[in-house]
A and B are shown apart, each in its own frame.
Chain A
Amino acid sequence: MNPADQRRSPPLRLASVESRREFVSRLGAGLGGVALWQLLDRDLAVAGEIPSSLPHHAPKARRVIQLFMNGGASQMDLFDYKPELLQRAGQTFDPGAGVRVEAATSEPGKVLPPQFPFRRHGQCGRWVSDLLPHLGACVDDMAFFMAMASRTNVHGPGSYLMNTGFLLPGFPCFGSWISYGLGRIADNLPTFVVLPDAKGLPYNQKGNFSSGFLPAQHQGTVIQASAPNPIADLAPPEQARFITPSASQEGLTLLDKFNRAHQAMRAEDTRLESRVRAYELAARMQLSAPEVFDLSGEPAELRRAYGLEEPASQDFGRRCLLARRMIERGVRFVQVWSGAGGPSNNWDNHTSIAKELPPMCAATDLPIATLLRDLKARGLLEDTLVLWNTEFGRMPFSQGGEGRDHNGGAFVGWMAGAGVRGGAAYGETDPWSWKAQSDVTSTYDFHATVLHLLGIQHEKLSVRFSGANRRLTDVHGRVVTQLLA
């Protein structure tokens, strides 16, 4: 059996600690079990082979770009058109039957109608707000979860839930699970990359990209797209003048010799070999990473189409273009954030939908639409999944007159690309977009669906930790087949 086949054999795919141990024992690897994975990963990458045939079923998607709108994007002002709100504008919000209406941070106000006109788009006739004209033109490629529901109305737990499947910190995020389950495609770039907003990290900061109890190699590599050194420690600091290229080069050669002599007496310990390889891979990453960030080779027209010439969309556009370049070069999962944490300059529009939402749309509408077109034109959309998400929605009634408070009861997400039924929509909210009403998609269902597209049965991707077999979908999750091609 060659290592690649080993990698895909069923006991491994159970992904439990037990099966790993078994596998490792079979190969006589001792304590260095997990390191061996890396060697195997690397061998696959060197062979230029993407681990394609997954154990559970044939995947539709091999890689993912997730666009995350931090703060709770207002569904009824973007995608969930509710004429009822126009009729009831200014009235006291009353869902009837004596149901108590509560809001997380404020006293519920009067019904606030959608703040911008909607129109139908595409062959599917989806309603989209005029704030998103470019995305409106893409609806036939997109499939909508129209009735998503969270379990909280608070950013911290809400962001954790959407990113890790749990309300509390400390669990592996979506990208980490995928890195863990599918491994790397390229060996000269990280497997899971996070591109935060230039203004700062989102709520929960790196907690949203943490590998939790999974090994640290699966955590999101944060890349500051606009910083001089986007990947930390890729090169020595400027102040370390004693380091010259030849000192490094000759040093690595001598280090390799020294390590191998040390290893010769300890051949049973594969971690020692892994460390030697890690330095080789690090050197390779040092060489290839800078090319990824160099956008000068991209045609001027395409740069413009990504919004790089407009101040409003420059930052997000650059990161969308980077996401494409990374996907192209073998990064498995790229998460692009819109908006930092905090009360403003993100999708958390408490004060005024009319004033706070348009800039967020202007920053993202064109870049996302171009990303979809660009991926499509290059054939990358065939095996790439693009996701648009947020941690929860907003309320049909006002907060302080013009803004909206958090609403875990209803929100919208969409996906496009590999395996997705373009133009489809699933689920419906109530007439006010207050609560998800029929064909509700929980965050677990959403994750289960995406894992399914990646060839993973969500119940089977688990790791034993703290008394239970932990999954991205906890003990829930149902694949929303209605949105699959």
Chain B
Amino acid sequence: MKTKRQPLAAHDPWTARRFCWGGTRGLRVLALRGLLLATLAFGSRLPATEAGSSVSNAWWALQPLRSVLPPRSPETSNPAVANPIDGFIRGSLRSKGLIPAPEADRRVLLRRLSFDLTGLGPTPEEMDRFVADAAPDAYERAVDRLLASPRYGERWARHWMDVAHFAETHGHDQDRIRTNAWPYRDYLIASFNSDKPYSRFVQEQVAGDVMYPDDSAVTVALGFLAAGPWDESSLRDIREDTLDRQMGRYLDRDDILTTVMQTFASVTVQCARCHDHKFDPVTQRDYYGLQAVFSGVDRANRPYDSDPAVHRQRRELLRHLALLNQGDRSELAHPETQAAIQRLESARKDAVSSWSAIAPDTFLSASGARMERQADGSFFVSGRHGPTDIYTLSVRELPPRVTAVRLEVMPDDRLPQKGPGREANGNLHLSEFQVRLFLPGASAAVDVPMKKASADYNQPGWIIDHSLDGDEKSAWGIHPQEGERHHAVFELASALEIPKGAQLVFVLKQLHGGHCIGRFRLSISSFSPSDALAALPGAIDQILAKPKAERSSEEAATLATTVMRHRWEGESSQLPAPAYVYAAASDFIPDGGLKPSGRPRPVHILKRGEITQPLGVASPGALSCVSVAGLPAFPSADSTDEGLRRAALARWLTHPENPLTWRSIVNRVWHHHFGRGLAGTPNDFGRMGDIPTHPELLDWLATWFRDDAHGSMKQLHRLVVTSQTYRQESRNPSTPSDVDPENRLLARMNRARLDAEQIRDTVLQISGRLDLRMGGPSDHQFDLQPGIHVTPRVDYTKFNVDDAAGRRRGVYRFLFRTLPDPFMDALDCPAGDQWMPVRNAQVTIQQALGLWNSAFMTRQCEHFAHRLEQSAADVDAQVREAFRWVFNRPPARDEAADFTAYARRHGLANLARLLFNSNEFVFLD
């Protein structure tokens, strides 16, 4: 009999519901299952808890971690060499009468270790050193060397990216590039390399911004929550008032919470979206509780400061601003605030009167519209009205000094909706505003740098800063406040001294949908400091115009708030520009229809998952079936601070007594070392997943990892790879082939097909082309052209594989979600559209074609040939050298004869092609 599990529940949903995770009837079944499993896997050694004792009314994964003592066995009797893992594994082998395979030879061991820990094969020199190392701890030192290598973090970060379904475009029909996704990848690499304790690693990725606000490095960790696909059409472009928008939000949160719960807890909560989970004790209420945890965040570009000092300063400023925005007035009465108001009032009076309208000599519309000067110094535009226009005005009559420029856009009865724009709705879009200086006698103008722009009103998402950002696609707008006067002030970077005879040229680019300005006036000022000139919201100007005594207390408060906001924003703008990471964010710059929610959006339990059938409001929470004392409480449904919701979940996940988290991670690590987890489904510990083959080992490892290793991944790796179990040969002639054909009991090591990155990176290493530069923006290994709409046109065939962008490790490739690299795709590299805790490892025709014919492989063959030519003079030696690189061994005599003859006839590049396509290279013993 085999250790085959029969999913009792799976065959009959009705039975499944009745036997769901407990209850007395279920208990009997579970006990029976436990007995069955125990008998199969462990002979007569029956885990006490599974035999139906008092604590066993829960599914295995929900039972508390048991404290297990490693079995004593001949292998572990000498404590100096004992590895507890072997005690468990060999015990179960013995009970089945199986003999473990012998230890693999050194060549096999170092290849295994090196590919496993770093994703790269050993170099010939590394192999020579290891084989020649006679010290008893040679293997352990090799392990330490590889774990200390930066290549380790690159390898294990990639595993994590599979689970997070990380890619760098949105997916869906508008597969836009996420320029700022890569910092999360670098965060992962750094976290693995620095051996960050696991519990901290989990917390940072769920709520690092809340739990570790002083740490400038954790913001990027939130890239985890945003790693998956995002439906830009539904969440940004369609109308806010549609059911599709609402449904899009539920589906988006579904992706986030599924990622979190599968990754950290190995639970498939997403199956409870339409009804209570059919197989696991997850209720719909639990599911929507998790929706509520994430209902205050969107996926967006989130600013961060990597410099800790700047991070601290900005955080302080943002705290002040947040208080103001929340209506906190405690700071308003502060003498400092009052003094600031006083300063503003006096400066303002002089500043406002300092503006004088310009009198340009020439003024011109690029599209041929007519511009007429009005009596008040403004211009009225009429006549031709194209989709874009650029107004250029040039002035000779200037004061000796200019500190700022003001643009007034003015209503006019001749314009639609009274303007000030010329489009039907009266709006305008100022894409870019430039000032240029022509020095006397100069043949070309120089750009006058700007400090900042301000406006009395900004259309949401169309802020005045856009007119200085150099991006012609973004612009300033005033919708829905058409029909009124508005103004913007552009402060020059420093006071501009103007020699006699110089000219100033003002350029107003309006490049968006015919939203050109219909009436405007430009003025200049020489007042300093120029920030006293900054445009203030219209209401504030009105308040300032009133004598102090006539202002209501409400008005005084509004004024004080604005002054303080002005001050904090001013100080904040002095800080170095922040970097951005694509991450979960509750506060971000609106992008069209994508706007911060301000506070958590209400989440309803949806009957059958239908948006049209909302039931009650969901309260933030996690899984009700995990009942451990001391789990954190979640904020209520009407709580406003979304961050506290995520922090509660992070604490819930990392609670030492949470039985899921610790089993989940040690099983995941085990999977990557052995090709199969102790439970074969790393993302699903429920009834539809696999039952662990060695439950006691799993519990022991989980406990050891949590308590003894303090969540150190490197210690966990070290423990696993130094076990005899890991060091076995991958064949075991002493095991009858019909016993344990899937090698669940581990009487041998599993043979692995190298994965996409292992093949690609190692081929580059062998060809001598691997560039080990780490981090930074991802490498585009394709030709990129603008597409018909949002999604760009991507052509992998046009990429020059010798380009510098093609030489770094695969973890730094740009990952295009709906158009993955065909070569990597054929080697089962996930596209980021689905969670991939276990990669497929197929052998297919497309894969054979890619390895045999692709531009990448054939070119590396030539590079490798070149390297071989340099290494030795005659073909015999070159073939030997080739074997040392590709297989880490010398050729046997008949192999040497065959391949040398072939290389003589067809050259070394063709030789390389054969070796790279061999089973010995593609499979790891």
Tell me whether B834 and A213 are in contact (CB under 8 A). Answer: yes
**B773 contacts A by Cβ under 8 Å:** no
Tell me whether A31 and B751 are in contact (CB under 8 A). Answer: yes
Contact A168 B244, CB 8 Å, known A207-B817, A464-B688: no
Tell me whether B244 and A268 are in contact (CB under 8 A). Answer: no
* Least Cβ–Cβ distance between B566 and chain A, in angstroms: 38
Q: Bound complex: CA of A30 vs CA of B919, how far in Å?
A: 17
Instruction: Please indicate the chain A residues that have their CB under 8 angstroms from the CB of B376 in the complex.
Output: none
Instruction: Please indicate the chain B residues that have their CB under 8 angstroms from the CB of A106 in the complex.
Output: 239
- One of A125-133, A237-245, A421-429 contacting the partner: A237-245
In this complex, what residue of A is CB-closest to B913? A251
Chain A 267-280, CB-CB to B under 8 Å as 1, else 0, gives: 01101101110110
- One of A17-25, A84-92, A430-438 contacting the partner: A17-25
Which residue, of B174, B277, B853, has the highest number of chain A Cβ atoms within 10 A? B853
* Least Cβ–Cβ distance between B60 and chain A, in angstroms: 16
**A159 contacts B by Cβ under 8 Å:** yes
In the complex, chain A residues 144-195 whose Cβ is within 8 Å of any chain B Cβ:
152-157, 159-160, 167-171, 190
- One of B283-291, B497-505, B650-658, B900-908 contacting the partner: B900-908
Instruction: Please indicate the chain B residues that have their CB under 8 angstroms from the CB of A272 in the complex.
Output: 919, 923
Instruction: Please indicate the chain A residues that have their CB under 8 angstroms from the CB of B448 in the complex.
Output: none
Q: Bound complex: CA of A2 vs CA of B866, how far in Å?
A: 50
In this complex, what residue of B is CB-closest to A34? B842
**B738 contacts A by Cβ under 8 Å:** yes
In this complex, what residue of B is CB-closest to A235? B853
Tell me whether B242 and A468 are in contact (CB under 8 A). Answer: no
Chain A 12-56, CB-CB to B under 8 Å as 1, else 0, gives: 000010100110110011110011001000000000000000000
In the complex, chain B residues 666-685 whose Cβ is within 8 Å of any chain A Cβ:
675, 683-684
* Least Cβ–Cβ distance between A33 and chain B, in angstroms: 8
Q: Which of A102, A212, A475 is in CB contact (< 8 Å) with B834?
A: A212
Tell me whether A244 and B906 are in contact (CB under 8 A). Answer: yes
Contact A233 B842, CB 8 Å, known A102-B241, A155-B173: no
Tell me whether A271 and B270 are in contact (CB under 8 A). Answer: no
Q: Which of B262, B828, B906, B914 is in CB contact (< 8 Å) with A246?
A: B906
Instruction: Please indicate the chain A residues that have their CB under 8 angstroms from the CB of B234 in the complex.
Output: 152, 154, 156-157
Contact A341 B244, CB 8 Å, known A275-B922, A464-B688: no
Tell me whether B4 and A168 are in contact (CB under 8 A). Answer: no
In this complex, what residue of A is CB-closest to B825? A216
Q: Bound complex: CA of A103 vs CA of B242, how far in Å?
A: 7
* Least Cβ–Cβ distance between B667 and chain A, in angstroms: 16
Q: Bound complex: CA of A28 vs CA of B740, how far in Å?
A: 9
Tell me whether A271 and B909 are in contact (CB under 8 A). Answer: no
Q: Bound complex: CA of A411 vs CA of B519, how far in Å?
A: 48
Contact A258 B834, CB 8 Å, known A28-B737, A206-B820, A341-B789: no
Contact A152 B788, CB 8 Å, known A234-B849, A282-B848, A341-B173: no
Instruction: Please indicate the chain B residues that have their CB under 8 angstroms from the CB of A278 in the complex.
Output: 843-845, 847-848
Q: How large is the interface on B (under 10, 10 to 19, 20 to 34, 35 or more residues)?
A: 35 or more
Q: Which of B2, B239, B854, B906 is in CB contact (< 8 Å) with A25?
A: B2
**B840 contacts A by Cβ under 8 Å:** yes
Q: Which of B818, B844, B898 is in CB contact (< 8 Å) with A204?
A: B818
**B21 contacts A by Cβ under 8 Å:** no
Instruction: Please indicate the chain A residues that have their CB under 8 angstroms from the CB of B853 in the complex.
Output: 233-237
**A355 contacts B by Cβ under 8 Å:** no
Q: Bound complex: CA of A157 vs CA of B834, how far in Å?
A: 15
Q: Is the interface of B mostly helix, strand, loop or mixed?
A: loop
* Least Cβ–Cβ distance between B88 and chain A, in angstroms: 22
Q: Which of B753, B848, B861, B865 is in CB contact (< 8 Å) with A271?
A: B753
* Least Cβ–Cβ distance between A11 and chain B, in angstroms: 12
**B545 contacts A by Cβ under 8 Å:** no
* Least Cβ–Cβ distance between A168 and chain B, in angstroms: 6
Instruction: Please indicate the chain B residues that have their CB under 8 angstroms from the CB of A16 in the complex.
Output: 10
Contact A153 B858, CB 8 Å, known A18-B7, A250-B902, A275-B922: no
Tell me whether B913 and A243 are in contact (CB under 8 A). Answer: yes
* Least Cβ–Cβ distance between A411 and chain B, in angstroms: 16
Q: Bound complex: CA of A18 vs CA of B834, how far in Å?
A: 21
Q: Bound complex: CA of A101 vs CA of B785, how far in Å?
A: 39
Q: Bound complex: CA of A274 vs CA of B919, how far in Å?
A: 10
Tell me whether A216 and B173 are in contact (CB under 8 A). Answer: no
* Least Cβ–Cβ distance between B504 and chain A, in angstroms: 41
Instruction: Please indicate the chain B residues that have their CB under 8 angstroms from the CB of A236 in the complex.
Output: 852-853, 858
Tell me whether A170 and B833 are in contact (CB under 8 A). Answer: yes
Tell me whether A262 and B788 are in contact (CB under 8 A). Answer: no
Q: Which of B238, B791, B910 is in CB contact (< 8 Å) with A153?
A: B238
In this complex, what residue of A is CB-closest to B839? A216
Tell me whether A255 and B173 are in contact (CB under 8 A). Answer: no
In this complex, what residue of B is CB-closest to A213? B834
Q: Which of A29, A156, A221 is in CB contact (< 8 Å) with B172?
A: A156
**A285 contacts B by Cβ under 8 Å:** yes
Which residue, of B268, B826, B842, has the highest number of chain A Cβ atoms within 10 A? B842
Tell me whether B242 and A153 are in contact (CB under 8 A). Answer: yes
Instruction: Please indicate the chain B residues that have their CB under 8 angstroms from the CB of A216 in the complex.
Output: 825-826, 828, 840, 842, 844, 846-847
* Least Cβ–Cβ distance between A143 and chain B, in angstroms: 29
**A203 contacts B by Cβ under 8 Å:** yes
* Least Cβ–Cβ distance between A273 and chain B, in angstroms: 9
**A259 contacts B by Cβ under 8 Å:** yes
**B50 contacts A by Cβ under 8 Å:** no
Q: Bound complex: CA of A228 vs CA of B277, how far in Å?
A: 51
Tell me whether A275 and B848 are in contact (CB under 8 A). Answer: yes
**A345 contacts B by Cβ under 8 Å:** yes
**A97 contacts B by Cβ under 8 Å:** no
Tell me whether A233 and B922 are in contact (CB under 8 A). Answer: no
Q: Bound complex: CA of A385 vs CA of B538, how far in Å?
A: 67
Instruction: Please indicate the chain B residues that have their CB under 8 angstroms from the CB of A408 in the complex.
Output: 244
Q: Bound complex: CA of A106 vs CA of B244, how far in Å?
A: 13
Which residue, of A28, A157, A219, has the highest number of chain B Cβ atoms within 10 A? A157
* Least Cβ–Cβ distance between B680 and chain A, in angstroms: 9
Instruction: Please indicate the chain A residues that have their CB under 8 angstroms from the CB of B920 in the complex.
Output: 258-259, 262
In the complex, chain A residues 260-304 whose Cβ is within 8 Å of any chain B Cβ:
262-263, 265-266, 268-269, 271-272, 274-276, 278-279, 281-282, 285
Q: Bound complex: CA of A200 vs CA of B791, how far in Å?
A: 11
Tell me whether A466 and B683 are in contact (CB under 8 A). Answer: yes
Chain B 165-195, CB-CB to A under 8 Å as 1, else 0, gives: 1000001111100000000000000000000
* Least Cβ–Cβ distance between A256 and chain B, in angstroms: 10
**A3 contacts B by Cβ under 8 Å:** no
Instruction: Please indicate the chain A residues that have their CB under 8 angstroms from the CB of B239 in the complex.
Output: 102-106
Q: Bound complex: CA of A341 vs CA of B172, how far in Å?
A: 11
Chain A 212-231, CB-CB to B under 8 Å as 1, else 0, gives: 11011101010000000000
Tell me whether A154 and B843 are in contact (CB under 8 A). Answer: no
Q: Bound complex: CA of A30 vs CA of B676, how far in Å?
A: 13
**B372 contacts A by Cβ under 8 Å:** no
Q: Which of B238, B737, B862 is in CB contact (< 8 Å) with A104?
A: B238
**B819 contacts A by Cβ under 8 Å:** yes
In this complex, what residue of B is CB-closest to A244? B906
**B149 contacts A by Cβ under 8 Å:** no
Tell me whether B248 and A154 are in contact (CB under 8 A). Answer: yes
Q: Bound complex: CA of A345 vs CA of B850, how far in Å?
A: 33
Q: Which of A103, A205, A464 is in CB contact (< 8 Å) with B791?
A: A205
List 9 interface pairs A-B (beta carbons < 8 Å), by A numbering: A31-B751, A102-B239, A167-B251, A205-B791, A243-B858, A247-B905, A258-B898, A281-B845, A345-B788
Q: A157-B248, A258-B920 are in contact. List 13 more A-B contacts (CB 8 A).
A: A28-B737, A30-B741, A169-B818, A207-B171, A212-B833, A233-B849, A237-B858, A242-B910, A243-B913, A247-B906, A251-B910, A466-B258, A469-B688
- Measured CB to CB, the residues of A under 8 A from B are 16, 18, 21-22, 24-25, 28-31, 34-35, 38, 102-106, 152-157, 159-160, 167-171, 190, 199-201, 203-207, 210, 212-213, 215-217, 219, 221, 232-237, 239-240, 242-244, 246-247, 250-251, 254-255, 257-259, 262-263, 265-266, 268-269, 271-272, 274-276, 278-279, 281-282, 285, 340-345, 408, 464, 466-469, 475
Instruction: Please give me the 3 A-B residue pairs with the lowest Cβ-Cβ distance, nearest first.
Output: A467-B268, A170-B834, A342-B788
